[in-house]
Structure 1
Amino acid sequence: MIVTNKVKAGMDPALLRESELFKKKLSSSLEKRHAPIDSGSHKKKKPRTEKEGSSASKHNAESSNGSINIKTSSGYKFGCLAKIVNYMKTRHQNGDTHFLTIDEILDETKLLDISLKQKQWLINEALVSNPKIDVRDGTYGFKPKYNLKDKKALLRLLDKHDQLGMGGVLLDDVEEGLPNSAKAIKALGDQIIFVTRPDKKKILFYNDKHCQFVVDEEFQKLWRSVPVDSMDEEKIEEYLKKQGITSMQEMGPKKVLPVQKRKKKSGQRKNHFKTHNSHLAGVLEDYSDGVPVKN
């Protein structure tokens, strides 16, 4: 330190100032080089005000309550019911017709997160009153309109409808109640007749081959020559009259109208008292006034 002080004492003051400035610049550059670089993510967050904190907590509470309300709403309940019914229908169509408990249904439909209250609603109200669910001793199965086991059962159903004049059976109802219905219908072949309605729905009829007969070609031509498209019964009846053909309605027995009884005229009441002793009309005398008066 003594040597350096002596050197400083013999140096030019201008040089000393320059050396001091150089040291300061060097120390400042070294400090900048070794200082940590602050990124945008390490910036200090502003402390939340009390108002912002309360609004954020309120928003979180509302969102959590919203999720809870969705699960407890009636829409969610009936959505679960629809999912169960559709699943029971699909498994019935695939041939799984055995009954299931409520726990097995919830397990297979992946509805294990429903509450105990919703489960009790399914058991006591929803599944019991649903027309497509059959309940047996606490177990549940699908209940179609026509419970058909195989293709023979389907053929018997169509034959019964044909004999009783009940018409055909909707294909949708057959597919609903007959497991593997497409395979069964294909196996029956020409024993079934398909008719498509205007709304594109198909109806199945029994093809009774005993009722088939050959019609002469001349009769077929006459039948097809009569234009009856887009004609109602009244227009057909007018056409038959013009051709000199009496309609079946006129050939039938005529209805006898009931004879209406004539109502009695409401007049004055007649005096029904009979006059007695008319042969003594000139002999009787009236003594009511004390003087005899002959009648």
Structure 2
Amino acid sequence: MSLQESLERFKKQQEKCHSTLSSIANGRNSVPPLPSAAAVKFSNDTERLQHINSIRKAPVGAQMKRVIDFLFETRRAFTPEQINEACYVDMKANKDVFDSLRKNPKVKYDGQRFSYKSKHNLKDKNQLLQLIRKFPEGIAVIDLKDSYPTVMEDLQAWKAAGQIWLLSNFDSQEDIAYPNDPKVPIKVDDDLKQLFRSIELPRDMIDIEKDLQKNGMKPATNTAKRRSAAQIQGASSKPKTKKKKSEISKRTKLTNAHLPELFQNLNSS
């Protein structure tokens, strides 16, 4: 092949390459693109999915507690689907959880929705006071705690207002609410009266204060501190003698001349 022919052939190849590149650039290339492999998708929410999986694999009791806590905090009724979205407990997939919640005394199920069920159906502060007044013998605070979210604050408010008493039960270390109403009769067993009367109190007030502190009560007095302060200040228990009023003497300047009866002694002398 001559040199001229080689040059012509090379020129044709360049023109062909240039035409191909132009077609590609202008989007007119008729050659179909090669099929790309399907992209592998990795979840960016792996931690949340692991958390949901751990909840659903937890024991039945743990899942029940999670749902009951959710119902207690919201105080609303939810379907199983809504509960699953809120706290990731799938009751439809776990029949044991569903049946256990349906029978739980703290849960109300109306056939469609679950809600929290307190021992006493109270809504506000006034209903709380009305209930306490129905129990002159006292009602346990633990039975009132779950009535509604602010019940404990309302108990303290009624106590501060003098409407109720909150006393501790030494056996169970729990508070008992009593109505502070003079019209409500309070019955005391004869055995309790006899026990109270048979208790012999210490003669010294310091010993009484120590017994109160031993039983978890704060004495209203502090006899030891008072006696110590009296010794430091040298306080005496003897009554002070009153000074005798001085009589009017001749050196007293008479200014109340219009009351001569006050100075009869002086004039007579």
Larger-Rg structure: 1
When normalised by structure 2's length, the TM-score is 0.44
Structure number with higher helix proportion: 1
Task: Calculate the TM-score normalised by the size of structure 1.
Answer: 0.41
